[in-house]
A and B are shown apart, each in its own frame.
Chain A
C-alpha cells in the first residue's frame, strides 16, 4: 500500500515537472495548427494553413537560410579554434597556462548583451558595417569557450602515447593533429559542434544588435511578434523547436554511436 502511494506520488511529480517544462512548447505547437486568426483558446480546429503561410513568406525563409548558414559556419570556426586552443594547452607547456585557460573560458560568464554591446563598439570603431558576418563573429565569440571547454576536457593523458606513437612512425605535427588527434576526439568535437549550432540557432540578442538588412530567424520572428500574436509565429516557432530537437537528437545519436563503440 505504502509502495503504491510512493510510486503514484513520484509519477505525479514527474508529470508536473515535465508538464512545467513542456506545456508552453506543447501549447505553441498545438496553436500553430489553429484554424483561425488568434493563437488562443478555444482551439477551433486543425489546419496547416499557417505552415503554408510561413513557407510562402520569403522574408522568413530567407531568415531561416541565414540562420542555418550563420549557425553552421560560426560553429565550425568555433570548433576549429577551440580544438587548436585545447591542443596547445593540453600538449604543450605554455606560459601562464592556467590563466590562459581561464581567459578562454571567461566569455561564458559574460552576458550576451554585454558581448554584443562590446562588439558593436569595436565594429563601429573600425568602421566595419553590420551584416551576417558580424553576427557570425559574435556567435564565434560566445561558442568558442564552450567548444574549448568540451574538447579540452576530453583530451586525456592516454592520448599522449598514441600521438607519440604516430610521431615515432614518422608523422609531423600537422599530420598527428589531423590524422590522429582530431579523429580520436571526434565524439567531443561533434558534441561541441552540435551544441554550438543549437546555441547559435536560438540566439537573439547578438543577432539583433549586430545585424542590419539580412537577419537571422529569431530576429525575423521578433519583428513578426511586434505586429501582434498570430498563429504564424506559432508555426515558425514550432519549426525552430523542431530543428533544435533534430540537431540535439543527431548529437545524441552520433555520440552514443561513437562512445558505444570505443
Chain B
C-alpha cells in the first residue's frame, strides 16, 4: 500500500528552541523522499511528527488526504525503522517481523507465513528462528525493514537507518533499500546527513537547515542547480565567488565578479530573474572548471590563476588555485587525471556558462 503525505505549515518548538519552522511539504504516493541536513536541522523532528511520536506545535499533517495531526502512532498508516533498529531482543526474527500482524489479531500460522515472506524479501528466510543478537548489524537492519514493512504501511519512515553501518555495507544497503522500495511501492521518507546516500537513493531530496526547508528537488537538480547557498554547499564542494549584476536584458545578464566580467543566461539565476545592482554569489563546482583554450563551446574565461597546491585523487587532480586578479581568494578546481599541473604554474581558468549558478548573496528570508 502507498499514500501521499502532506505537511502544511508545521512548526515545532521545544521551549525557546524552534526545531521546525513553518515547514510545508507534499510527498507523492510511492515516492522515495530523503530529508537531508546537518544534525539539529529538524529532519528527525519532522520524521517524528510524521510518525506521530511528536505532535506539531502548529500546522497540519495529512496522509492519503486523511488528517493525522493528532493521531497516535499505532493508529497511523506509517511505521518507523529506527536508527538503532529497536528489535525485540527476546523474540525470534519471525516473531519480530510478525509482531505488528499479531497486534492486528492475525492468527499464528498466517502471520508466521507472512513474516517468512518478508524475511525472504530481505534475504533472511533461512535464519527466521534466530534471535536478533545472533545477527550482524546489516542483518538486524534488514529485519527492522522487514518488520516495518510486514504491516503494509502506506508510508515507511526511516530514521538514519544506515548510520551505524560501515561505509561498504552502507553503499550496498542503499541499493537494496532502493530496490525493495521499488518492489513494494510504499512511500519512503528517509532521514540522513550523508549527501551521497541521499543522492544514491532519493527520488527527491529535501535539504533542511535550522528548521526550514532550503531546497527540494531531484538529486541532479539539487546538485547542479541549487536554490540556496546552504544547499549548494551541503551537497558537495563548491566555490563561492562574490559579484554584482551590472546589466540585465531578456536573454542575458552581465555580472561583474572578482574574476572578471561574465555574461550569463537568466536561467543561471535559480531563485528568480536577475535584478540590476543586486549583490550575488556565483557557485561553481570544482569539476566544472576547464583550462582556457579548450575547444568547448560556451566557455567563459576567468583569467589566470596560479596553482598553490595539488593532490591526486584517482579520478582527478584536486588543485588549490589563487587567481591573479584576486590573490586573496582561494579556488578549488578539479583537473583531469591526464593534466600535468605543478605548484606555482599559472593556468588559464574557464567555465561553461551553463554550469554556473547565481544566487542572491543575502539569504532571502521568505
Which residues of B sit under 8 angstroms from A164, Cβ to Cβ? 53, 73, 80, 82, 86
Determine whether the beta carbon of B80 is less than 8 Å from that of A186: no
Question: Is the contact region of chain A dominated by helix, strand, or loop, or is it mixed?
Answer: helix
Determine whether the beta carbon of B86 is less than 8 Å from that of A161: yes
Q: Mark A174-218, 1 if CB is under 8 A from B, else 0.
A: 010001100110100000000000000000000000000000000
Partner pick for B151 among A158, A169, A186, CB 8 A cutoff:
A169
Determine whether the beta carbon of B89 is less than 8 Å from that of A184: yes
CA distance A158 to B88 in the complex (A): 11
A165 within 8 A of partner (CB) = yes
Q: How far is the CB of B14 from chain A (nearest CB, A)?
A: 14
CA distance A114 to B51 in the complex (A): 52
A180 closest partner in B (C-beta): B88
B147 within 8 A of partner (CB) = yes
Which residues of A sit under 8 angstroms from B131, Cβ to Cβ? 261-262
Determine whether the beta carbon of B90 is less than 8 Å from that of A184: yes
Q: Known interface pairs A161-B82, A175-B103. Does A168 touch B74 (Cβ–Cβ under 8 Å)?
A: yes
CA distance A169 to B144 in the complex (A): 12
Determine whether the beta carbon of A167 is less than 8 Å from that of B74: yes
Which residues of B sit under 8 angstroms from A170, Cβ to Cβ? 74, 100, 103-104, 151
Determine whether the beta carbon of B80 is less than 8 Å from that of A168: yes
Which residues of A sit under 8 angstroms from B100, Cβ to Cβ? 169-170
Determine whether the beta carbon of A171 is less than 8 Å from that of B103: yes
B79 within 8 A of partner (CB) = yes
* Category for how many chain B residues contact A: 20 to 34
A23 within 8 A of partner (CB) = no
B7 within 8 A of partner (CB) = no
A162 within 8 A of partner (CB) = yes
Q: Known interface pairs A158-B84, A171-B74, A172-B74. Does A166 touch B99 (Cβ–Cβ under 8 Å)?
A: yes
CA distance A186 to B151 in the complex (A): 27
Q: Mark B78-118, 1 if CB is under 8 A from A, else 0.
A: 11101010111111000000011001100000000000000
Question: Is the contact region of chain B dominated by helix, strand, or loop, or is it mixed?
Answer: loop
Determine whether the beta carbon of A169 is less than 8 Å from that of B89: no
Q: Known interface pairs A164-B53, A175-B103. Does A169 touch B90 (Cβ–Cβ under 8 Å)?
A: no
Determine whether the beta carbon of B82 is less than 8 Å from that of A262: no
Which residues in chain A, 122-167, are within 8 Å of chain B measured between CB atoms? Answer: 158, 161-162, 164-167
B276 within 8 A of partner (CB) = no
CA distance A231 to B103 in the complex (A): 60
Partner pick for A186 among B51, B53, B72, B90, CB 8 A cutoff:
B90
Partner pick for B90 among A158, A165, A183, CB 8 A cutoff:
A183
CA distance A167 to B79 in the complex (A): 10
Partner pick for A162 among B79, B80, B86, B133, CB 8 A cutoff:
B86
B84 closest partner in A (C-beta): A161
Determine whether the beta carbon of B79 is less than 8 Å from that of A168: yes
Q: How far is the CB of A161 from chain B (nearest CB, A)?
A: 4
Q: How far is the CB of A89 from chain B (nearest CB, A)?
A: 21
Name, among A162, A164, A168, A262, the residue most crowded by chain B CB atoms within 10 Å (CB to CB): A168
A168 closest partner in B (C-beta): B73
Known: A180-B88, A261-B131. 14 other contacts (CB 8 A): A161-B82, A162-B86, A162-B89, A164-B53, A165-B147, A166-B88, A168-B51, A168-B53, A168-B73, A168-B74, A169-B100, A170-B103, A183-B88, A262-B89
Interface positions of B (Cβ within 8 A of A): 51, 53, 72-74, 78-80, 82, 84, 86-91, 99-100, 103-104, 131, 133, 147, 151
Interface positions of A (Cβ within 8 A of B): 158, 161-162, 164-172, 175, 179-180, 183-184, 186, 261-262
Q: List 14 A-B contacts (CB under 8 A).
A: A162-B86, A162-B88, A162-B89, A164-B73, A165-B82, A165-B86, A168-B73, A168-B74, A170-B104, A171-B99, A171-B103, A180-B88, A183-B88, A184-B88
Lowest 4 CB-CB distances: which A-B pairs, in order? A170-B103, A169-B100, A165-B86, A161-B86
